[in-house]
Structure 1
Amino acid sequence: MTINEKQDSIVEEFSIFDDWMDRYQQLIEYGKELPPIAEQKKTQQYLIQGCQSKVWLDAELRDGKIYFTADSDAIITKGIVSLLIKVLSGHTPDEILNTELYFIDKIGLKENLSPTRSNGLVAMIKQMKAYALAFKAKNDGNS
């Protein structure tokens, strides 16, 4: 599945909810499905700066694709990072760097977040793209 197909699937899932309380509930459900980050990675090194709540994010490159793990101490934030992982995990650094994450606006996520959560969302995306950039640079250096 391409990144855009994953985004379209999320947009479709969220379109059945008229009410933002239902969408928040869906976000919480996504958070529960989040593959857990290793406990030893819940350190300052993996903490995303710019998030009001604590969000730890890690990434590893396997067979040319990046796989993310994360956790958060806030249930809505955990749901948000879970959505980002659902969309971006399992793709190449180039795919991640060249993608536009349009699903965030399409499901109305950005406009329904508090400014601090919205800044956190931007920080999470920035960190995921930074991992992609680092893996790409490392790969380009090896070829």
Structure 2
Amino acid sequence: MEKLPFKTIDQHQDDIIDAFASLCGEREVMLDYLIDLGSALAPMELLYKTDNHLVQGCMSKVWLMEVEKEGLLFFQADSNTAITKGLISLLLKAVSGQSILAIAAAKFYFVEAIGISELIGWQRASGFSHMIKEIKLKALSRLAQSRHA
């Protein structure tokens, strides 16, 4: 089998699971890790921090936009809170630069595997599921556009 030149969504998810496993389930350490991930997220240009790019259903403000290049989707995102910024960073690590079809079909199993709901509470977990939904909707929308083109 030929080696892929990049990691798949599942390989990124496995990396996320491994990273969290190394934190030994210590809540404070895990939250600090999320905050660190968020602080390392590439800054989003101000022109994209508009209501058009706002993810609905999140307690915090989360902006998400995508650019398609040669059948691949690249995402930019930001949030006004540190932990939420870390959460969106996890998602972008898994999906940014992946094919539209792969994103549309992705099952985000890392969420349950790392116990995100227990870590961040039900309100943030609900917002996190809205982020996932928005990423999937963006991919599905692009897929539908390409089929009608």
TM-score (norm 2): 0.92
Q: Aligned runs of 1:1-143 on 2, under 5 Å? A: 1-18=7-24, 19-142=26-149
Residue 86 (structure 1) shift: 0.3
Q: 2-side partners of 1:81 and 1:17: how far apart?
A: 19
Structure 1 unaligned residues grouped into runs of 5+: none
Q: 2-side partners of 1:137 and 1:54: how far apart?
A: 28
Give secondary structure in 2 for the equivalent of 1:71: strand
Give secondary structure in 1 for the equivalent of 2:74: strand
Q: 2-side partners of 1:95 and 1:23: how far apart?
A: 28
> Runs of 4 or more off by more than 6 Å in structure 1?
none
Q: Is the 8 A contact 1:48 1:124 kept in 2?
A: yes
Q: 2-side partners of 1:104 and 1:6: how far apart?
A: 12
Q: What is the aligned residue count?
A: 142
Give secondary structure in 2 for the equivalent of 1:53: coil
Residue 55 (structure 1) shift: 0.4
Q: CA RMSD in A?
A: 0.9
Q: Is 63-72 or 111-120 further displaced after alignment? A: 111-120
Identity score, percent: 37
Residue 111 (structure 1) shift: 2.1
Q: Is 35-44 or 119-128 further displaced after alignment? A: 35-44
Q: Deviations over 1:64-84 (max 9, x none)?
A: 100010000000000000000
Q: Is the 8 A contact 1:37 1:58 kept in 2?
A: no
Q: Is the 8 A contact 1:71 1:78 kept in 2?
A: yes
